[in-house]
Amino acid sequence: MVELSRLKSGFFTHIDYKLNTSDTPIRADIYGKDALKEHARKMGHSDRVQTNLRSAYPLPKRLWENQQRLTFIHKKFSESQAADKTILPPSAEWLVENFYLIQDQIRQSKADLSSGFYKRLPKLVAGPHKDDPRIYGIAMEIIAHTDSHLDRDTLLTFLNEYQRVAALNSAELWAFPIMLRLSLIENLRRLMDQAQITMLKRHSAKELSDRIISEQNNNGKQRAVKVLSKYFPPDKQMDPAFTIYIVQRLREADPVALNLINWVEERVSEHDINLEEFIRVETHQRTLNRSSVGNVVNSLRMLSFMNWSSFFEDTSPVDKILRLDPSGVYTKMDFSTRDRYRHVVETLSKFSIYSEQEIARRALRLAGMWSDEHPAERDRRQAHIGYYIISGGLEKLRQRVNYEPYPLQRIVDWIKAHPFNAYIGIVGIVFASALFGTLLISDIIFPTF
């Protein structure tokens, strides 16, 4: 949270703010392809997860807070752009010009991240992303080590390398684009917090420089230095952005303010700081932040155009197993049919002690065994892996994986297995209810004595 102190004259004397892990931009050492692969494998070894773990600060709540904060900052930036564009940091322009895209991505994330879906995601039990979904931690690490510069190949490589050590389930893979958007929006909020702080410092510096120049013109150098010294006490650490902007404003007033610039430079040197080095570091940070914000916006745009169905199949370990179908039918099916198979595997895993991959392997084993035992059989349906996933062999697969659903799921399974009987039963219940209601009403209106 940003804490501001105001002068009686109306501008900020200084800005006190605490930057912790929730405020600093998501930025770490930039990794090349090989380093990213190694990092992914290390994460796969170290990550420990737990299902049904509640988060103290769930992502949907964090997304809502980030939306409120970005909306507020955008409003302030827009006002500043109209009043005095010179105090607006370069990184802020990305938010002003692309706010419509940010809003769309936030709306999409809200729509995709239902509470039920969020609860299903395995959560990390330790580390910097403790209590967050594992797939969110992965997204955050990718963003940190690419400076938010994403592309399909990087994302694909990272997930596949991670899964060489620890497989992700289908829900996590489908959640991946959501988690990337949430991570990018989180990073954007942090970057915009810093941009707003810089803007406020520039505003303060502008008003202070105008005031001390006016003091010097009207009341002489000593009076101007006295005013200036209040904001640069010798026992207080000097703020780079505030100091640099003061100097820049005073240099614009040169030669009137030359003596004031010299005074500031002397005060800076008292802290064993070189002013030009001060300026170089601050300029580098400003350039870095502008680049990061640009990467965030461009990556959000890229994510909205990616074919996530194709990406899912390229990263799904279950899909890789099902594609080994002895009959060769699975690979010839359309996406929706393949997805139906994977969804059944996911449901079986939910009510079994076995992972999705193990269930897919057991279905593959059943199909392979039948194919080996009946090489001359003309009817090859039982050699198709789908026979054991959605057809007559499903019960056999359920037995092989110790499928133990909840009572409600048993009802759902029965309806899916006997749709016609379920339909007749529902129609019968509706008809009987209507008949009973009619008789009851007629008895009330026309009672028999």
Domain boundaries, the chain: 33-198, 316-407, 418-448
Taking residue 103's Cβ as centre, other Cβ atoms within 10 Å add up to 14
Strand partners, 4: 15
Residue with tokens 């059944």: 344
- pLDDT tens across the length of the chain (449 residues): 334 443 333 334 444 444 444 589 999 999 999 999 999 999 999 999 998 777 766 899 999 999 999 999 999 999 988 888 888 888 999 999 999 999 999 999 999 998 889 989 999 999 999 999 999 999 999 999 999 999 999 999 999 999 999 999 999 999 999 999 999 999 999 999 999 998 998 888 888 888 888 887 777 777 888 888 887 877 777 787 888 888 888 887 766 678 888 888 888 887 777 778 878 888 888 899 999 999 999 999 999 999 999 999 999 999 999 999 999 999 999 999 999 999 999 999 999 999 999 999 999 999 999 989 888 787 789 999 999 999 999 999 999 999 886 555 555 554 555 565 655 656 666 666 666 666 656 655 555 54
Residue 255's φ and ψ, nearest 5 degrees, are -90, 0
Cβ atoms of 182 and 102 within 8 Å: the answer is no
3-state secondary structure of 79: helix
Kindly state the tokens that stand for 291. Answer: 């680049």
pTM of the model: 0.84
259 to each of 235, 264, 316, how far by Cα in Å? 22, 9, 68
Give the DSSP H or E segment for 63: helix 59-83
The H-assigned helical ranges of 220-331 are: 221-229, 240-252, 258-270, 275-305, 308-315, 317-322
Q: Which amino acid is at 380?
A: R
Strand partners, 124: 49
3-state SS, residue 268: helix
User: What span, in angstroms and rounded, lies between the C-alpha atoms of 104 and 245?
Assistant: 35
Question: Apex CA 224: angle with CA 218 and CA 226, to 5°?
Answer: 135
234 preceded by a cis bond (ω within 30 of 0):
no
Look at residue 16 and give its three-state secondary structure: strand
